[in-house]
Amino acid sequence: MQSNLAVLYIFFFARVYTSAFDDGVDSGLSSELSTCPEIPTVENAEVSTTFLNNKYIKGDTVTYNCQQGYTGRVKFVCDGHKWQIKQNTKCSRKRCELPEDIPNGRFFLVNGTEFVYGTTIKYTCNTGYRMGSRVDNRTCLAGGWNNHLPVCEEIACSPPVAKDNIIVDGLPDYDNPLRHGHQLQFTCQSTGLKLVGPKEVICGENGEWSNPFPTCEEIVCELNEINGNVAVAGLPQNNASIKYGHKLQFYCSQQGMLLRGNKEVTCSNEGQWSSPFPICEEVTCKEGELKNVKIVYGSPGVSPPFKPRHSLNFACTNPGWTMTGQSSITCREDGTWSSPYPICSGCGPAPHVEFADLITLQKSYYGYGEIVQYRCQLYYTINGQTFKTCAQGTWNGYVKCLKPCIVTIEDMDAKNIKQYYGPKRKMYSVHGDQISFTCQYGKRPVNDVAFRQQCRDGEMSLPRCM
């Protein structure tokens, strides 16, 4: 058995040697088969120059140094055919220490999720503070965080410059800063001045006031247009400004004219006049409302305009009605009537009352104090008065006819009852009367309704038997 293996080994060795000789390749072939290809590329790393060769054979090693900002060392070894990892697999980013916080501010990551080489953080300030440093970010470098820690400064607004005639409320004591959100209120020192601008300002997040500071200016009223027939007293000389509190008086410059509006107006604290300027109109009396009256005569006529000394005579539109007021009035010099327009009062036809008949003479019109009489129809009962009275154009008085109650034989049979007295019959009962009932033969009461009932304006409850 051993001799057979020796023969096979000699045969295989001779075969390889002969093949290599025939191809013109010397013993260097075994060396080529034991080399590795080009060295691997490692991200963020460079090969140390001492390990660079033209050819790498089994057992050769290559060491990589990580670039700036990365840590670790990568090493490969040639196994005669390919490169095998001997140490590490990659270069890792260097880590920076946890960033420092700053007073009245905070930071956040601009890129990445860890504090490693290349990561940048940005600082922001809390409400009421603003960034006081020119640079507000830091980046993790090979040697640690770059830049200095930024500083957050408290936001404060500049105080108002003192001005005459203006009062500022809300200024802090002891020259303390005017911080974000601080409010100032402004008023003027005297009633003759008005505030021009906002009454209140607020210190904003940017250290600027919400609005420019106001000023106090003298109140001046503009002179309105004056009607041509109006004279005015109190105008300042040389077209001087009309200031707060100044008064003007007005009157009409011609006879027969009447001043419509206030005789005096005042310049108010809003720079407006207390009321519109008046006008002068020709004196006339206003046309009044005709209430059941008519104008029967007028001097010089019955139609407007009604000027001073114009007279009117009135009469009632319906005969028999009563006139309240003067039947003749005159327009006075001040544009008012000597008396108001008169009024005539009366009533129309007598009102209808249900279930009642009118027993007095019917007319189309009734004068003040006239009476109409009523009588209720058969079986109906009067409630209240029997008459109505005409007063101030309306009928006064309460008249009502209360309805009777009607009980039929069918109603009683449905309840199995009959009247207590007399034979079964249809019955009429006026308001307030009573009727007694009893059960029909062989029947008994089945409810709590009394067997003696009273009529109430056409309504009567009936008992029931079974």
- pLDDT tens for residues 304-337? 999 999 999 999 988 878 899 999 999 998 899 9
CATH code assigned to 44-93: 2.10.70
Please enumerate in sequence order all residues whose Cβ is within 8 A of that of 210, keeping only pairs 6 or more positions apart, or say none. Answer: 198, 201, 202, 203, 204
Distance CA 327, CA 314 (A): 5
pLDDT category at 205 given cuts 50, 70, 90 is confident
- For residue 318, the number of C-alpha atoms closer than 13 Å in the C-beta half-sphere is 19
- Domain spanning 405-465: which superfamily? Complement Module, domain 1 (2.10.70.10)
> pLDDT by residue (tens digit) across 125-145?
998 899 999 999 999 999 999
- 156-218 has which fold? Complement Module; domain 1 (2.10.70)
The yes-or-no verdict on residue 29 having pLDDT over 70 is no
- Domain spanning 356-402: which superfamily? Complement Module, domain 1 (2.10.70.10)
Strands 322-324 and 405-407: unpaired
The yes-or-no verdict on residue 7 having pLDDT over 70 is no
- The predicted pLDDT at position 206 comes to 85
pLDDT category at 33 given cuts 50, 70, 90 is low
CATH architecture designation of domain 293-345: Ribbon (2.10)
Cite the residue boundaries of each domain of the chain with CATH code 2.10.70.10: 105-154, 156-218, 221-281, 293-345, 356-402, 405-465
The yes-or-no verdict on residue 17 having pLDDT over 60 is no
- The predicted pLDDT at position 32 comes to 53
pLDDT category at 460 given cuts 50, 70, 90 is very high
321 burial type by CB count under 10 A (0-12 exposed, 13-18 middle, 19+ buried)? buried
- Give the rounded percent of residues in the chain with a pLDDT score beyond 90: 68
Which helix (H) or strand (E) element contains residue 330? strand 328-330
> pLDDT by residue (tens digit) across 142-182?
999 999 999 999 989 999 888 888 999 999 888 889 988 99
- The predicted pLDDT at position 26 comes to 39
Q: Provide mean pLDDT across the span 70-93.
A: 90
- The predicted pLDDT at position 19 comes to 35
The yes-or-no verdict on residue 8 having pLDDT over 70 is no
Q: Provide mean pLDDT across the span 288-292.
A: 93
Distance CA 294, CA 304 (A): 14
Provide the whole-model pTM.
Answer: 0.42
Distance CA 292, CA 322 (A): 10
pLDDT category at 214 given cuts 50, 70, 90 is very high
- Three-state SS sequence of 434-465: EEEEEECCCCCECCCCCCEEECECCECCCCCE
Residue predicted with more confidence, 34 or 298: 298
- 105-154 has which fold? Complement Module; domain 1 (2.10.70)
pLDDT category at 48 given cuts 50, 70, 90 is confident
- The predicted pLDDT at position 1 comes to 38
pLDDT category at 28 given cuts 50, 70, 90 is very low
CATH code assigned to 221-281: 2.10.70.10
What rounded mean pLDDT belongs to the chain? Answer: 88
> pLDDT by residue (tens digit) across 394-412?
899 999 999 999 999 999 9
